[in-house]
Copies of this chain bind each other. A is one copy, B any other.
Amino acid sequence: MTLEPDSARRVYEGRLIGLTVELWGDHEREIVEHPGAVAIVAVDGDGFLTLVRQLREPARKLLLELPAGTAEPGEAPLETARRELQEECGLTGGRWRELAAFWTTPGFCRERMHLFAAERVVAGEASPAADEELELVRWPVAGTADRLHEIEDAKTLAGLLLYLGTRPGRTGLH
């Protein structure tokens, strides 16, 4: 089995994403190009999780999500994650570990996401980008499993479930 396309042509070049049409044998594949992303389950020393609520234009509504962001060129995933958590939420420090890495929508998009947990993060001053209007929302970790129906974002569901299943002292999945 070949793991490279026979040919590829870029049909759109945008600011965040691009679009490539690849030919694999008989089949064309439309592929969204994306630089990669991170999301963070950030918990402070009092056992509170920080989520962000923001307008998601494609959904035409406000969604409640893990802090997340897109990789800058040359940035390692953990760097992106620490930068985004500070910029979006003003949270710094903490003990970090990677929970998972995955493709978000591997049928049609090149976005790979790294998901981190950061525990004992410390509150400070946020500095969101000019086009980000974020509301920070704090949830006690202890009540999170009962509120997952409020989440309508794939990475946030996966991240919270992974975190709840792997944290120390969990009553978790095994």
Binding site for B on A (CB under 8 A): 1, 3-5, 11-12, 14-17, 19, 21-22, 24, 26-32, 34, 55-63, 65, 68, 70, 100-113, 131, 145-146, 148-149, 151-155, 157-158, 161-162, 164-165, 171-174
Of B12, B109, B165, B171, the contact of A11 (CB 8 Å cutoff): B12
Of B32, B58, B100, B102, the contact of A106 (CB 8 Å cutoff): B58
Chain B residues lying within 8 Å of A111, measured Cβ to Cβ, are: 105
Chain B residues lying within 8 Å of A3, measured Cβ to Cβ, are: 55, 60-61
* Least CB separation from A99: chain B residue: B157
> Do A30 and B17 contact each other (CB < 8 Å), given the known contacts A106-B56, A154-B105, A161-B161?
yes
CA distance A173 to B164 in the complex (A): 7
* Least CB separation from A60: chain B residue: B3
CA distance A58 to B106 in the complex (A): 6
17 contacts between A and B (CB under 8 A): A12-B12, A17-B30, A24-B55, A29-B57, A29-B58, A32-B109, A58-B103, A58-B106, A59-B103, A63-B103, A104-B105, A104-B154, A105-B105, A105-B155, A145-B173, A148-B162, A173-B173
Say how far A16's CB is from chain B's closest CB, in angstroms.
6
CA distance A11 to B17 in the complex (A): 13
Say how far A97's CB is from chain B's closest CB, in angstroms.
13
* Least CB separation from A25: chain B residue: B131
